Amino acid sequence: MKKFAIVEIAGHQYQVEKNDEILVSNLNGKAGKKIKLDKVLLFANGKVEIGQPYLKNKTVEAEIIENLKGEKVKIATYKAKSRYRRRKGFRPLLTKLKIKEIK
C-alpha cells in the first residue's frame, strides 16, 4: 500500500501522495513559498489512521508552484417575458501545489 493522505484545503478534500501536483482554490502566497497543511483527515502507510475530524500528529508539507486562472465559466441569465438576457463569464483563481512530504 502506498503512503498517502487525505487533506482538507479551503473546504475541499484531496488525496495526495509525495511529489503529487494538485490544483486548489486560490491560496495566498507567491510561487516558491512552502506551506504546511495540518488538516489531515486520513493517513495511510500500510496501516490506516482516521482523524475525528483531523489527525493531530500528521502534517503535509507543500510548495506553491504557481498562481493561475482556470478555464472560463460562462453564465447566462434570462428573465421571461421581459426580453432580458445577459451573458457573463469569469475565470476562477487557482493555485498549483506540489506535495513535498507527508509526516
**pTM summary value:** 0.85
Mean pLDDT by 10 residues, the chain (103 residues): 94 97 96 97 96 96 98 98 98 98 95
Identity of residue 88? K
Residue percentage of the chain with pLDDT more than 90: 98
CB 29 within 8 A of CB 64: yes
Q: What is the DSSP string of 16-63?
A: E-TT-EEEEE--SS-TT-EEEE--EEEEESSSEEE-SS--SS--EEEE
Cβ neighbors of 69 (< 8 A, separation 6 or more) are 91, 92, 93, 94
